[in-house]
Amino acid sequence: MQQAIEGSLAIARAVALCKPQVVAAYPITPQTHIVENIAKLVADGILDCNLVSVESEFSAASVVLGAAAAGSRTYTASASQGILLMCEVLYNIAGLRIPTVLTCANRAVSAPLSIWNDQQDSMAVRDAGWIQLYCADNQEAVDTTIQAFRIAERCELPVMVCVDGFTLTHTLEPIEIPDAEQVNTFLPAYQFSRRLDPQQPISIGTLLSPDLFPEARHSHHQALINAEAEIISAADDWAKISGRAGPALLEANGPEQARIGILIMGSVYGTLADARNHYTDLEPVCLIKLRAFRPFPVKALQDACKGLDELIVLDRALSPGSGGILGNEVRAALYEIEDAPRIHNFAIGLGGRDVPMDTLPKLIAAVRENRHEHFRVFDAVLEKLPEEDR
């Protein structure tokens, strides 16, 4: 049934439908509403789970690691500094091939201190070995959360569901919350093959000599590559059960004659799609919504870019001294194909800077003025800076 509710509450309800046995909760803006709402569901007797109020994000990640290794379905959520504090444990969770689901309510990273949305936090842990899925709206956040548990458990890999902080987490809108029956059909009970069991003791996380380390890393890499198939199958199966078709790896949306494409991860997609409907005098544009950032869907991306002459890649994060993180990944993926589009990479909406409707015509104008821009912070007003910093 569709309900007008806040994104965070919808995510909490989606988590509850997946019946995690252990949830680690630690507050941080703009994530707090998610774990608060889960705590309410537990208190109200709607979710039967062990809610552990920890004293830091490092502990939150450690709790889910241990509980999942012992065979529990687990969940936690965080953002920004919290994700950074978790970082060491995030690598361990992934390297130990422990299935868990974490919502990252995407937020800028300090300093300068900002509580507002960009995607610097999840980008900072992109190499931790987690699957990363980015949501364009709150319905996708709900559906992705449910799919994430199945993907994690089938691949024995952790999944980070990335949801733009405030823009999605604090937005109230009509959202379809699935029935328990639908989720039960989709998601079988969690069975962990390498469960820590005192009756059949095993060790995990032991020292690995150079004799086997590269093979372990190869195997982890391969597991992520192979996860593409599970991400697709989860999206397909959930579409059949829920009646809602959502993106799997990515979704390209635009007329065939479009020669210009814009690629984005997260909630700015909606504003660009609305702007495309609104500014009817613009040339045709293909909007590409990238959902899977890890594994990075090279083949799907190459296919989606066929026929495009220009591709604008919008980053919601920055690698200072290099440029856009997503931009560079897309460049690498398209380098191998013939007739690859020219790539124009911009960071936009850093630290919560609003991305208004007229961004779309401005982006197209920037490209059509025929300047090839390797990278630029698109909405930075350089006049605000002293001459020497521009």
Partner 1 sequence: MTLTEIRIHGRGGQGNVVAANLLAMAAFETGRYGQAFPNFGAERRGAPVIAFVRIADTTILRRCQIQSPAFLIIQDEALLNIPGVTDGLLPGGKILVNSSKAADEFPTPEDTELITLPASQIAKQNLGRPVPNTALLAAFLGLTNLFPIDALVKVLAHKFSGSTLERNTQLIHQAVEQVPVGQWQEAIHATGN
Q: Contacts with partner 1: how many residues (CB under 8 A)?
A: 28
Q: How far is the CB of 327 from partner 1 (least distance, A)?
A: 22
Residue partners of 34: CB distance under 8 A and separation at least 6: 8, 11, 12, 15, 77, 103, 105, 169
CB 30 within 8 A of CB 79: yes
Q: How far is the CB of 164 from partner 1 (least distance, A)?
A: 8
Q: Which of 215, 283, 339, 354 binds partner 1 (CB under 8 A)?
A: 354
CA distances (Å), origin 67, targets 13, 129, 167, 350, 376: 21, 19, 31, 35, 44
Q: Does 355 bind partner 1 (CB under 8 A)?
A: yes
Which C-beta is closer to partner 1: that of 107 or that of 150? 107
Q: How far is the CB of 289 from partner 1 (least distance, A)?
A: 12
* Interatomic CA distance for residues 144 and 344, integer angstroms: 29
Which C-beta is closer to partner 1: that of 6 or that of 230? 6
* Interatomic CA distance for residues 22 and 50, integer angstroms: 5
Residues 259-318 that bind partner 1 (CB under 8 A): 267-268, 270-271, 273-275, 277-278
CA dihedral 347, 351, 357, 360 (to 10 degrees): 0
* Interatomic CA distance for residues 75 and 50, integer angstroms: 11
Q: How far is the CB of 134 from partner 1 (least distance, A)?
A: 14
Q: What binding mask, one character per residue, do residues 368-387 give for partner 1 by CB under 8 A, x or -?
A: --------------------
**Cis amide prior to 341 (ω within 30 degrees):** no
Choose the stretch contacting partner 1; rule: CB under 8 A; options: 81-89, 171-179, 200-208, 323-331: 171-179
Which C-beta is closer to partner 1: that of 63 or that of 136? 136
Q: How far is the CB of 246 from partner 1 (least distance, A)?
A: 14
Which residues on neighbouring strands pair with residue 106, listed in sequence order? Answer: 164
Q: How far is the CB of 37 from partner 1 (least distance, A)?
A: 14
Q: Does 108 bind partner 1 (CB under 8 A)?
A: no
For residue 49, give the 3-state DSSP assignment.
coil
Strands 172-176 and 342-347: unpaired
Which C-beta is closer to partner 1: that of 6 or that of 310? 6
Which C-beta is closer to partner 1: that of 20 or that of 30? 30
Q: Does 37 bind partner 1 (CB under 8 A)?
A: no
* Interatomic CA distance for residues 107 and 117, integer angstroms: 4
Q: What binding mask, one character per residue, do residues 11-30 give for partner 1 by CB under 8 A, x or -?
A: -------------------x
Q: Which of 154, 170, 244, 342 binds partner 1 (CB under 8 A)?
A: 170
* Interatomic CA distance for residues 244 and 230, integer angstroms: 18
Q: Which of 172, 282, 337, 380 binds partner 1 (CB under 8 A)?
A: 172
CB 8 within 8 A of CB 40: no
* Interatomic CA distance for residues 91 and 98, integer angstroms: 10
Residues 115-134 that bind partner 1 (CB under 8 A): 115-116
* Interatomic CA distance for residues 121 and 105, integer angstroms: 9
CA distances (Å), origin 62, targets 129, 165, 382: 16, 23, 43
Q: Which of 53, 171, 182, 319 binds partner 1 (CB under 8 A)?
A: 171
Which C-beta is closer to partner 1: that of 2 or that of 322? 2
Residues that bind partner 1 (CB under 8 A): 3-4, 6, 30, 115-116, 166-168, 170-174, 267-268, 270-271, 273-275, 277-278, 354-358
